[in-house]
Each structure stands twice: as C-alpha cells, then as structure tokens.
A and B are shown apart, each in its own frame.
Chain A
Amino acid sequence: MARVTFPFGPQHPVLPEAIQLQLTCEDERVVEVLPVIGYMHRGIEKAAEANLFPNNIFLCERICGICSFIHALCYCELMEGMMDVEVPPRAKHLRVVWSELSRIHSHMLWLGLLADSFGFESLFMQCWRAREIILDTLEMTTGQRVIQSSCVIGGVRRDINEDQEPDVRRKMDAFRKEINAIYPVFAKDYTVKSRTVGKGILPKEQAWSLGTVGPTLRGSGWDYDARTLGYAVYDDLGFEPIVEDGCDSYARMMVRLHEVVQSLELVIQALDRMPKGDLAVTVKTFPEGEGLIRVEQPRGELVEYARGNGTAYLERLKIRTPTFSNIPALLVMLPGCELADVPVITMSIDPCIACTER
C-alpha cells in the first residue's frame, strides 16, 4: 500500500486553534506524524522585555485565554518571590478560588470538545451549558468571563464580599448537580468508551521520559502535580493529586473528570477558610536577580523564569507551558492508530497551541 501524506489543519473544525499535523497514512492507518507549529507565535517573551513589569500581567494573561487567571497568578507569584513581598492571606485564598474556577471551566470546555471530536454533539452542548454556571460565577466575582485581570503583584484586585459568597455557594451547588448528571455519561456510556478505551496509549515509562506533565502524565500512573508544592494556600487545603493507571485516552479523560469534582471541593474549602483582611499590599521595589516558579495549570505544569536588573523592565522572561511538553507524546500515541481516531487522540492531551507558541 502506497503511503499518502496529508495535512490535518491548520484550519480544522475540531481544533479551535491553528496547528498542523502532517499525517502519513497507509490505507486507514497512521504511520507517521509530524507536528508543524508556528501558526500562533506572537513573540510575547520579547514583548515582555519592552513592557513595564506590572503591565506584563495583562500580557501574560493573554498567552492563553482558557487558563488566563493561572498565567497571571504564575507571573505575580514569581514577581512576589523576587521582591520578597508577603501576600495577605485573604488574597491567597481568593487566588485559589479563582484558579480552581478556571480549572473547572477549562476542563468542562475540554470535555465538551472531546465529545465533539467523536461526534457526540448533545454531550458537547451539555458540558458547555454546565460551564456557563462557572463563567457566571467568574463574571460575578471578577467582572469578566474569560480574561479576569483580577490578580496584581502583591495581592488581588477584587473581593468576594459577604453578599456574593452565598451566591457563589449556590452556583457551586447548581454546578454539582450538573456534573453529577454528566459524570456517568462519560464514565459508562458505550459510545464514549468505544472511542477512548485503549486508544492513544502512552506507556508509563515513556510518559516520564518524554517529559509530559499534568493530566497526560497522571493518566499514565504518575503521582505528580505542581499544586503539591503548596503555592498560594494549597498546602493548607489537604490536596491530593488524582492518578489513573489506564495510560489511554479514557484514563486521561477520567483524570480531568475527577479533577472537576475535586476543584469544586477546593473552591468550597477555600471559601470556608477565607480569613478577613486586606486584599493587596503596595509594592514599591523593582525585581532584581533571578526567579523560577512552577504552578499547575489545567493542562499541566507551567514554569516561568525571570531575570530582573532593579529597573522597571525585565531583562528576560521565559515561559514554558504544559502543551509544549505534551506535544512529543503525540508522536508516541498517534502512529498505529486509525485515521478516524486522530482528532480524539489529539484532543486527549488537551492541546493549547496559543500557550505553546506564545
């Protein structure tokens, strides 16, 4: 059988973003994959050197609109670490609330897109309907749906006051009902299982040696989550990573599904423990020296490195995003699969190309 090479992307209905996979097929079977990236590159790292360092928060948020709050959180925590700023405890709790809400909204979005990639349209719609509850909560508490801009260096910009808190809890209860209805469909439905179980196998050793992170790694049986490092207040919340041993698309899906439920509990816990006090401290120094930080994004571990020289401009800001580490795993998962499974397996690493290329 002759080999045929054809492009998957950059413009493709399954992918909301532009990436190209050059698939070489024999008959219906994929034998070789070559990802072509660069369609989303903007040059954010270079632009971050030209901006004032507090303004970089807005640029960092727009690396990726799906996990925008966690990008801002990462940059703020990095700058606070470099300048020895102590963040008020209330601000730390609020950061946990918002970053877990963005994790839920990102995972619900992904679950919907996964359902869409194997043609389960009604499940896609149900996931996105449930997600609107979370977006409403974010809009109510921060003022924006997807790009919140509520994190500043030294604390947070907005508060969840006493009037809003019962509303947030009510919305979380409403969301719990929705996820309880959606959960069994993903976990048990014949259609979902037939398209995910045993598809896109990433063996345990290779998952580690290829350097994958996040749910892709945890779906292959590794207990590894940057939230265990205890930034913000994760060390007080009794957080345990979720691990599945299946190594296939189904395991990665179940990790994310369980994380939605777990994040919901973390939001409630953070609300329960929320101390009274200031929202932010005033920062009067400039970043100097070097700093490195790791935080957990919905897609995995996000690493930021910065070098400052005591002025208002950074010398270097290096960002390594989770999808960058997860794309090599596609080269193990895709060869040997059926052509019809390519969208499902590509979706199973939760690719965020805007993050990867910055």
Chain B
Amino acid sequence: MSELNNVVTDRAAITRNGVSIDDTFAEAFGMSASGVVITADSPKWARQSAVTMTGFGTSVIGCGAECGIDYEIAADATPDGRPGVRVLVFGFAPELVEEQLKNRVGQCVLTSPGSACFNGLDSSRRISLSGGPRFFGDGWQTARKLGDTRYWRVPVMDGEFVIEDKAGVSTDAVGGGNILVIGKDRIGVLETCELAVAAISNVRDVITPFPGGIVRSGSKVGSKYGAPASTNDAFCPTLRGAVKSELSADDKCVLEIVIDGLTAEAVGNAMRAGIKAVLDVGPQRGVTRISAGNYGGNLGQHHYHLKDYLP
C-alpha cells in the first residue's frame, strides 16, 4: 500500500542529530504474503530471475501485488545447492497472491536460464506454486515427491525447470509501513534514502517494493478525475503556496520508503533501521525532517508511531 492520504502531524516533536521527527505515525494494513526461493547456476542469474519476477510489483492497487527481494541465499542453504534469492509477494488475499505467483513465476522464473523455484515461506496454509508453470510441460512434466514435498520437473530447452508444488502463505503480513524523508536538497535526500533502504535490506522478512525502495510519488486517496489515487499535494514542494501544505519554506523534496513485511514486528524493525540510517546522516545532506504517511488512523490496523522507533 503506497497511497497516502491526510498526514496528521505535530511538527518537530523530537529532534535527533539535527533532524526533526514528527509526532505522527505510519498507518499500515493487514495483507497476505508468500515467499519463494529462486535458484540458478550463479548468483547473477538467480538475482536476474528475481529482479524480473518482482518487476512491476510496486503497488498492489495498480500491479496486483507488491514484490521484492528479501535476501540472497548461499548455495549450501538452498534446496538444490545452488545460489539463491528469496522473493516476497504481497497481496490482498491468499488467492490473489496465488494468481500473482502463477503469472510471475510462469513468465519470469520459468523463462530464466537455469532457474528453479522453491517454497520460501514455512506456513501451515499453502497455495499452489506450480499450478501454472508445470502445465508448460504439455504432458511431459513429471512429479517427484520427497518426504512431504512434491517437486515438478518441466522439460525446457536448457534441460529441466524444477519447481516446488506448493508455497506457504501468511495472512499475518503487513503492508504500508513507511517513512517520509523531507529535506532541502533533492539529491541529498535521495542519497540519504538510499542509505536507509540499504539498512532496511538487512532486516529479514521485509521488502521495499518501489523502485530502489524509494517512492517519489506519494499519493492521497481519490482524484478529481475519479482515479483511486492522485498526487499527495500536501507534500508537493512546488504546490506549497497553493494548497494546505505540510512543508516549510526550505523543503524542496520529499521521498517515501514503503515497507511490507511478513509480520508487524518485521515492519517495525525495518522502520527502526531506516530511521536510524537517516538520523545517522543527519542534516549534512539536506535532510531536515522525518514524517510518516497515514489515513487518519481509521483504515489501517497497524500504527507505527515514529517516536517508538527512534534509535
């Protein structure tokens, strides 16, 4: 969930290392999520497959799912002994996540040279992972059950595509954790956000689904044209004099980091890591303030008050 609405702030309640932190909260939502492990002959090709699969996976509203790479896995820790990448896929409901997995694995992992795809989430609730891709075998696909796990072997032009039959799915996932980084220098704010995303990437079970983990087009709900979302004008620096702005005279740029996680705790840990990274940089690259996006607190079940996640 990336679409923000009315941000309720009490400005500059706290200041740390020259950066003020609004007394506000990020409002996040319950979601369903699944995880898969993609392996390949090299880390490069495992990552390539994962990057392709998670493309066009920024907002569940427009993309059907929010996707991202959680972490890379050493060869000795994957089911087939090859380097791998864990990918997380978030959606509104398990059956919608299943549909996304079917399409994304079928189009982006099955097609990737040397790839294989395995369940990446332990859960008692499971959805089909092979349901689409295995039928690409046109009758030549065969199953192999080892213990409680069934694998499918699909003949392809470079050998066989191996895919696990089921993937775990969780309905305890959380989408829409976020921080807003505000400053007076656009490049400086962007570089600071990059450091924050890098820090968040070290937190397990979370993804930052937007490009490079960073959003420049935070949105509010609704539009004069009937669209479900439109630009969050209160945080647009070029509209500061024309709307009820949340920005001060020096603010030239606002970038948002959206966080989805398998648990509420994981999202909180990621927010803490991101905020710490921003505060560690301080104002030297133009960052003046940290805020968060919410909907007034009435829509999302999870409220992450920034003051609770300060280092």
Query: Is chain B a partner of chain A in the same complex?
Result: no
